[in-house]
Structure 1
Amino acid sequence: MQHARPLPNYLVQRFQGWKATSYAENHAWFRRLASEGQHPRAMIISCCDSRVHVTSIFGADTGEFFIHRNIANLVPPYQPDGQQHGTSAALEYAVTALKVAHVIVMGHSSCGGVQGCLDMCSGKAPALEEKSSFVGRWMDILRPGYEKVKDLPEEEISKALEQQAVLTSLENLMSFPFVRAAVEAEDLTLHGLWHEIGKGGLECFDPKLGGFVGI
């Protein structure tokens, strides 16, 4: 591959610092993870956004979370069509092979993917409407959520759609037979979260209240 280049020096220095400190202080744990495999308690589906750092938020150790990230933390509906489905594959592996006890979907404030969906659905982003747009076709998953919030006051619609991304994903999770079977057998629980980046807040969806409540 002629286009690949050496790692930037600042990343090399950070790796060397990690190897000399975090790894050196916990090398037995890393060797155990390597020899015994991973046994995460939960899968977290979060956004690719660099500001969303789930391991820091929950103080997680290496090996504790099985993490999958994509644009706007979306789970597509179950669709076994022989095509390539990264999120569905990660979900299948987490539930059927790793036997995680929890699947957590975490959305967040100021989500660029959700804003793109809002712009696309309101006719302000024609480029995302193109069939060649990977982002646009991915955000089609959230179109039903947009229909639910489009008539809200302008100042409320972004947060509402960010939370709809979480709810849409929770609904789509239950369309996967192996997820539904695990939930019904009480071997798996599903959770929906929304993270306020600027304030460091976290809200959890409460089905009894029909909305998100602060933790």
Structure 2
Amino acid sequence: MANFPERLIKGYKEFTSSALINEREKYKELAEKGQKPTVLIIACCDSRAAPETIFSAGPGELFVVRNVANLVPPYAPDGNHHSTSAAIEFAVKGLGVKDIVVMGHGRCGGIQAALSTDGAKLDDGDFIGKWMSMLAPVAEQVAATDQVMTPAERQNALERVSIRRSVQNLREFPYIKQMEKDGAVNLHGAWFDISTAELWVMNGETGDFSRAEN
């Protein structure tokens, strides 16, 4: 255990001496009865935008899927591995979640790379480059606004456009499309501003974002 990160050991000790005291029975219940979260959140891997922290969620409350730039890939049941799609399928069909939230955030590194034209763009041959290529068409459109928008404005725009695109991709999953039509599941978009800790929620009809009420 000598090489295990000391920060994690310290954090675990703090957990067992504080939070666990209040949640011990909850953990026992979850172990015996299983998890029954009602919300699936598809979020970014970024360490600054943890859904459980942002939404003050306890154990068993949220089913969280995190990937680079919080993307939902198109529905493609082929022979390849699709971890995000598999997690979505498990959450919806296995756990019966009622709400699916695609949550992006400000200053996303993946989005920045997708917009880059100065050599910082991720190589198309690596995993991240291939993953972010899903955004290539809209990234090119947003990047073309360089005469009227600042780099920060373009990034902010693509972060939100990508959320809308991921929600659209969710509707390509046949079972989700049918369940949404039947009112059995609801799709949402959200964007978290790291610098101000503001949460912006997407209007399902217009696609516009507005600040969530405190």
- Tell me if the contact between 1:44 and 1:106 (Cα under 8 Å) persists in the aligned partners: yes
Which residue does 2:105 correspond to in 1? 108
Which residue does 2:52 correspond to in 1? 55
Q: Quote the offset at 1:88 in angstroms.
A: 0.4
- Give the residue type in structure 1 aligned to 2:21: A
- Give the residue type in structure 2 aligned to 1:211: D
* Aligned residues with identical type, % of pairs: 37
Q: Quote the offset at 1:123 in angstroms.
A: 6.3
- Tell me if the contact between 1:145 and 1:168 (Cα under 8 Å) persists in the aligned partners: no
Q: Quote the offset at 1:37 in angstroms.
A: 0.2
Which residue does 2:75 correspond to in 1? 78
Which residue does 2:138 correspond to in 1? 145
Change (3 A) 1:28 1:176: same
Structure 1, unaligned stretches of length 5 or more? none
Distance 1:90 1:126 in 2: 28
RMSD: 1.7
Which residue does 1:128 correspond to in 2? 123
- Tell me if the contact between 2:48 and 2:194 (Cα under 8 Å) persists in the aligned partners: yes
When the two structures are superposed, what TM-score results if normalisation uses the length of structure 1? Answer: 0.90
- Tell me if the contact between 2:105 and 2:193 (Cα under 8 Å) persists in the aligned partners: yes
- Tell me if the contact between 2:122 and 2:128 (Cα under 8 Å) persists in the aligned partners: no
Which residue does 2:202 correspond to in 1? 205
- Tell me if the contact between 1:108 and 1:195 (Cα under 8 Å) persists in the aligned partners: yes
When the two structures are superposed, what TM-score results if normalisation uses the length of structure 2? Answer: 0.91
Distance 2:177 2:89 in 1: 12
- Give the residue type in structure 2 aligned to 1:124: G
Aligned residues between the structures:
208
- Give the residue type in structure 2 aligned to 1:21: S
Residue number among 153, 164, 168 corresponding to 2:161 in the alignment: 164
